[in-house]
């Protein structure tokens, strides 16, 4: 049975999810909702027939089984609640909501309905992070004592389509705590690897005259023992396929890093995977979508997981409770700061 999918919000992420969805077995994007006529024209160009300028109309349609919500951060809560209430399965981009309290509201609502809800923590679906976790879980490096999580990006770097960064990105109340955006991933990875944690130290700072902090150092201590230093920044001029992300785990029996699993040259990787896909195509086998981009393939994996959960009645790996845990930890990070001063949170 084909799962009919509606996409709510058709910016870059919406478009990406639509393209990824084309490779999902038994899933098809049948509708798109976005208030922008330009976005709807783009959706039409991608072959979507049912177009709505109000997502409530999309949710009223009986043909849609599941929705993918790719709206700006501040609109996730309302749209997710509406979708869940309408009885639709939901895949929502992170952050699930702007506060942990709102995550609880969504969790409650989803619990009352018989629907699946998954939050897009795509960094958990990177090949490199999965291998790192598998290595750690196997005990190969012993107990981890120290770890480093680094993610530096430039959200303000342009795409090739020469469109300005969306306006909402410059409004703090619409982005939320900045760590809810890019920094979210490394906080979440720490929890994913080591479980619940507390904030030891926070320093938030501005390199640019950004409306909110654009770089942070956070020290976390997990209840299980490992400590982690998180470096997050939104200040780099990185042009695709450049990507500045790594996790390093220092254990009692060795060390593991995502760098060990990421191709040394992403360009060479793209060429190799491209050729491999062409051969697959020529021999009538399934291609591995977006594998040539390396990091974008995580979106394929997470969608595959979501639709697999829908088909087989399984619980998605990242639900509202997980998102709640990550956002609550981020809230603790902000509670631990005083402007841009260094504030140790835990008394020794």
Partner 1 sequence: MGTTVSVTRTSAFDEGGIRDAVFRALDLIGFEPPGPVETVAIKPNLRFYWDYSTGETTDPRVVASVVDYVRERWNARARIAVVEADASAMRTRHAFPMLHFDRLAAEKQIELVNLSDGETCEREVTVGRRKFTFPLPRLLFDTDLFINCPKFKVGPYASGNALHITCSLKNLFGCIAKPRKVGWHPQINEVIVGLSKLIPPHLNVVDGIVALGQRPVRLGLVLAGVDPVAVDSVVARIMRYRPSSVKQIRLAQKEGVGSSHNITVVGEDVKAMSKLFPSRSPLAFKLAWTGQLSMLRLYAKLSGDAVPPLLD
Residues that bind partner 1 (CB under 8 A): 12, 15-16, 19-20, 22-23, 154, 156-165, 170, 207-210, 237, 240, 274, 277-278, 280-281, 287, 289-290, 292-293, 296
CB of 292 to partner 1, least distance (A): 7
Closest CA to 150 of 238, 242, 257: 257
CB of 83 to partner 1, least distance (A): 23
CB of 305 to partner 1, least distance (A): 18
CB of 169 to partner 1, least distance (A): 9
Closest CA to 68 of 12, 13, 108, 26: 13
Q: Within its chain, how far is the Cα of 126 from the centroid?
A: 11
51 bridge partner residues: 32
Q: Is 66 exposed, middle or buried (0-12, 13-18, 19+ CB in 10 A)?
A: buried
C-beta separation of 315 from 116 below 8 A? yes
CB of 286 to partner 1, least distance (A): 10
Q: Which is nearer to partner 1, 22 or 60 (CB)?
A: 22
CB of 242 to partner 1, least distance (A): 12
Q: Which is nearer to partner 1, 187 or 290 (CB)?
A: 290
CB of 293 to partner 1, least distance (A): 6
Compute how many other C-beta atoms are within 10 angstroms of the C-beta atom of residue 170.
Answer: 13
Phi, psi of 211 (to 5 degrees): -65, -15
Q: Which is nearer to partner 1, 7 or 220 (CB)?
A: 7
Q: Which is nearer to partner 1, 125 or 149 (CB)?
A: 125
Q: Which is nearer to partner 1, 168 or 229 (CB)?
A: 168
218 bridge partner residues: 202, 230
Q: Is 228 exposed, middle or buried (0-12, 13-18, 19+ CB in 10 A)?
A: buried
Q: Which is nearer to partner 1, 142 or 154 (CB)?
A: 154
Q: Which is nearer to partner 1, 19 or 130 (CB)?
A: 19
Q: Cα angle at 188 between 76 and 84, to 5 degrees? A: 30
109/84 Cα distance (integer angstroms): 7
33/45 Cα distance (integer angstroms): 14
Q: Which is nearer to partner 1, 281 or 314 (CB)?
A: 281
C-beta separation of 291 from 297 below 8 A? yes
Closest CA to 193 of 232, 150, 226, 145: 226
C-beta separation of 166 from 298 below 8 A? no
CB of 206 to partner 1, least distance (A): 10
Q: Which is nearer to partner 1, 157 or 217 (CB)?
A: 157
CB of 59 to partner 1, least distance (A): 24
């Amino acid at each position: 049975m084909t799962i009919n999918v509606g996409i709510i919000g058709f910016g870059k992420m919406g478009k990406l999810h639509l393209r990824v969805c084309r490779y999902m077995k038994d899933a098809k994007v049948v509708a798109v909702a976005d208030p922008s006529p330009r976005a709807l024209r783009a959706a039409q160009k991608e072959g979507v027939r049912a177009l709505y300028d109000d997502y409530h109309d999309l949710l009223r349609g009986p043909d849609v089984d599941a929705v993918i919500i790719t709206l700006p951060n501040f609109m996730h809560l309302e749209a997710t609640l509406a979708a869940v209430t309408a009885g639709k399965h939901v895949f929502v981009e992170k952050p699930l909501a702007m506060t942990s309290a709102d995550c609880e509201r969504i969790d409650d609502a989803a619990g009352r309905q018989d629907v699946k809800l998954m939050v897009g923590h795509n960094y958990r679906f990177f090949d490199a992070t999965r291998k790192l976790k598998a290595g750690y879980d196997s005990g190969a490096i012993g107990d981890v004592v120290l770890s480093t999580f680094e993610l530096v990006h430039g959200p303000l770097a342009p795409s090739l389509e020469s469109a300005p960064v969306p306006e909402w990105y410059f409004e703090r109340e619409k982005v939320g705590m900045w760590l809810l955006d890019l920094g979210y991933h490394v906080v979440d990875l720490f929890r994913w690897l080591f479980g619940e944690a507390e904030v030891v130290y926070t320093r938030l700072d501005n390199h640019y005259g950004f409306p909110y902090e654009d770089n942070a150092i956070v020290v976390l201590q997990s209840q299980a023992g490992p400590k982690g230093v998180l470096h997050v920044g939104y200040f780099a001029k990185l042009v695709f396929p450049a990507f500045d992300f790594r996790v390093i785990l220092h254990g009692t029996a060795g060390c593991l890093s995502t760098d060990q699993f990421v191709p040394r040259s992403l360009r060479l990787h793209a060429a190799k995977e491209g050729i491999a896909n062409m051969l697959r195509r020529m021999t009538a086998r399934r291609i591995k979508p977006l594998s040539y981009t390396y990091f974008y393939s995580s979106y394929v994996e997470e969608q595959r997981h979501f639709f697999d959960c829908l088909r087989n009645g399984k619980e998605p790996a990242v639900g509202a409770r997980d998102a709640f845990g990550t956002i609550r930890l981020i809230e603790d990070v902000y509670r631990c700061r005083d402007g841009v001063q260094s504030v140790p949170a835990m008394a020794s």
